[in-house]
A and B are shown apart, each in its own frame.
Chain A
Amino acid sequence: MKVRSRFCLKSVEKKLLVAAVLSLFFAVAPTRGQVSLSLSRGAGYAMQRDLGVSPISYQGLAGRMGLGVDVRLPRWSIEIDRGTLAALYESGTFGEDGNSMGYGISSCQEVCALRQMWTHGRWLLMAGPMLSSNLALKLNPELFNASFGLSGFASLSLKGRICFDFGREDEDYRHYRFRFYGQQTLSPMTLAVRPGYSYIDNYSGTTDQLSAFLETYELMALAAAEWHSELGVKMQMPSGNRIGLAYRWDYCTTYNAGAWRFDEAFHMAVASFDFILK
């Protein structure tokens, strides 16, 4: 019964996402705003250390797929992004014989509203709040019953972005060919759920397995637990569509708030494609 309700929840989440996108689209339709669909693909370096199972940092390769919607209004930009991230880790020095291997997959959602704070010539500064969630599944098959770990982070963040336009100016559309941007996201408040002291679910019997799931996990409130940086450049095509290339850094930690400190970082090169819908 619980499994079914979980699937229902997932289905509801999807419907809500579609409804949100459609609402934004129609809300902006009568205005001078612009709606674009953003696809991104990234690859790079991943690092994690979970003191619940190992004092050693794991390093490896990661890939990210993103799908988002950006709504640009005269003074605001509303951005929704949904990403899936997969990583393959090794303990110790990457590529050495005898290393333990781990796998991770995570699902991230972000919604942010950036307000135009300042403009000066080709410079633009935007800032605003962001809500994000990140649910990650970690597998390390060699660690017996501790081989499975679930981590969930939900954050309220502040995001700031500096843009600089350069290149030839398109007089018809009043924009420059290239835009360099740098953005920072810091989370003043994060709620995290992580495996607790035992790092194991109390699956002592089949009848209790579902109800015992997450029983031994712990919930914690953290300050400055997530940090994201991005430096990139976007090129605007004559059609209005944009292609971009960026370096992205994501870091999250539980500090020493829970039973076991958890740190995770990604360094990625991300290619993005923005298709103008309106």
Chain B
Amino acid sequence: MKTRILLLAITVSFCFASCEKLLMPPDAESTPTATFDYLWDKVDKQYAFFDVKNVDWQAVYDSLRPKVNDKMSDDSLFAVLSAMLNCLDDGHVNVVSPNDVSHCQGVFSRMINNTNYDENIVMQNYLKANYHTTGGFMWNTLRDGRVVYVRYSSFSNSASPKYFQYILNANPNAEALILDMRQNGGGSIVSEWDLLSCIAHPDSLKLYTSQIKNGPGRNDFTTPVAVYAPDTTSACKPCGLPIAVLTDRGTYSAGSFFTLCAKEYPNVIVMGDTTGGGLGLPNGGQLPNGWRYRFSITRTLANDGRNYENGVPPDTVVRLIPGQTTQDNVIEQACQWLVSNIAAK
């Protein structure tokens, strides 16, 4: 009897073998309406910053959903999806079609309109023609070699500690450092840790806490994880010199992370303008029509408990003086602060 049952079971199971489609629900429809609904729902359940963005996401759906129909062109659908994501006012939010990549117009406008950096002034008067390039850093000396000005324009460029150490070794008489992060739109978070590992800090210096969205509710987050200053490496002797970090609205993503962290270091001052924000890690996925998207699914809380997703404020606000063509007011004030700080010591 057992043998017959076994034989029957094996025979019957062969009838269903190789038919995984029978066991799986069908793929989602790839129509414009299905694609819109899918993206709206994904953001609704996984986006991490509704609390600080002040967005009524249901209202966004109600206003944009009527503009979507299954006969619309890909370009029209892209425009609606972009408009939907624009409401989040987050530079880490994009939809990617084969022909276009959406971007947050608010972040872009703030970055461009509120720039606190003039490349011509910096190149002609501070980096000058005899500037050096070491890894991802451009640098030169100011104030008779007492201050080293280091321009770091993107965290996509290498910030290896060996390069930072080279700059320090090349300027043994330097008494202070300026790290210019203005218009640094971010890049690799690894570069951020590389750079932070070059700065001296007390043991167990807590920088911030991080949480990941882990449920569909607005406040569903994992337990906060404390993040501490990275250990220094043998490639770079920890720099204990006074450091001024310069920021503006174009300092975004990894640039904002760095600024948030740098503020905790005792020998660092942040000067300039509020950063652009972008303190969430963006996560990606695919839409039913094959396009891709990304948005932030983690949040970062500063040691004061606040969420600076919309921008990390500087310790000292300094803005460029309109009409100035030969002097960068932010660099000048940073130099002044550093020199007076050295003198006070």
Contacts and interface: CB of A to CB of B under 8 A. Distances in A.
Judge: A and B partners, yes or no: yes
Interface of A: 47, 49, 52-57, 91-92, 97-100, 117-118, 125, 127, 142-147, 160-162, 182-184, 186, 196-200, 202, 204-208, 212, 215-216, 227, 229, 231, 249, 251, 253, 261, 263, 265, 267
A91 B7 CA distance: 39
B283 A229 contact: no
Nearest to A120: B3
B225 A208 contact: yes
Given A92-B290, A125-B3, A197-B215, A47 B282 contact: no
Q: Which 10 A-B pairs have the closest CB atoms?
A: A144-B284, A204-B210, A54-B286, A229-B17, A205-B227, A55-B28, A143-B284, A265-B20, A198-B212, A118-B3
Nearest to A263: B24
B38 interface: yes
A126 to B, nearest CB: 10
B240 interface: no
Nearest to A97: B98
Given A249-B18, A267-B18, A117 B3 contact: yes
Interface stretch (B117-125, B148-156, B269-277, B294-302): B294-302
Nearest to A160: B10
Contacts of A160: 6, 9-10
Given A49-B24, A117-B3, A200 B281 contact: yes
B17 A249 contact: yes
B286 A47 contact: no
A265 B24 CA distance: 11
21 contacts: A54-B286, A55-B27, A55-B288, A91-B290, A98-B98, A118-B6, A127-B6, A144-B283, A145-B281, A146-B284, A147-B284, A160-B9, A160-B10, A183-B10, A198-B298, A200-B283, A202-B212, A205-B227, A207-B227, A229-B14, A249-B17
Given A91-B286, A98-B290, A200-B212, 19 more contacts: A91-B290, A117-B3, A125-B7, A143-B283, A143-B286, A144-B282, A145-B284, A184-B14, A197-B215, A199-B283, A202-B210, A202-B222, A205-B227, A207-B231, A215-B222, A229-B14, A249-B17, A253-B23, A263-B24
B54 interface: no
B214 to A, nearest CB: 5
Contacts of B61: none
A56 B290 contact: yes
B14 A182 contact: yes
B285 interface: yes
B228 interface: yes
B227 A184 contact: no
B249 interface: no
B290 A146 contact: no
Contacts of B10: 160-162, 182-184
A215 to B, nearest CB: 8
Interface string B1-24: 011001101100110011010011
Contacts of B231: 207
Interface residues of B, number: 48
Interface in B73-102: 98
B135 interface: no
Given A57-B27, A100-B292, A184-B13, A198 B214 contact: yes
B198 interface: no
A215 B211 CA distance: 12
Nearest to B300: A204
Contacts of A97: 98
A229 to B, nearest CB: 4
A158 to B, nearest CB: 9
Contacts of B17: 184, 227, 229, 249
Given A49-B27, A143-B284, A162 B7 contact: yes
Contacts of B238: none
Contacts of A200: 212, 281, 283, 297-298
A100 B13 contact: no
Nearest to A127: B6
B182 interface: no
Contacts of A182: 10, 14
Contacts of B287: 55
A149 to B, nearest CB: 12
Contacts of B288: 55-56
Nearest to B297: A198
Given A56-B27, A197-B213, A204-B227, A125 B6 contact: yes
B139 interface: no
A145 B207 CA distance: 22
A215 B214 CA distance: 11
Contact of A206 (B7, B13, B30, B230): B230
Contacts of A265: 20
Nearest to A54: B286
Interface string B285-329: 111101010100110100000000000000000000000000000
B193 interface: yes
Nearest to A196: B214
Nearest to A51: B28
Contacts of A161: 10
Given A162-B7, A186-B13, A200-B298, A229 B18 contact: yes
A251 B20 CA distance: 7
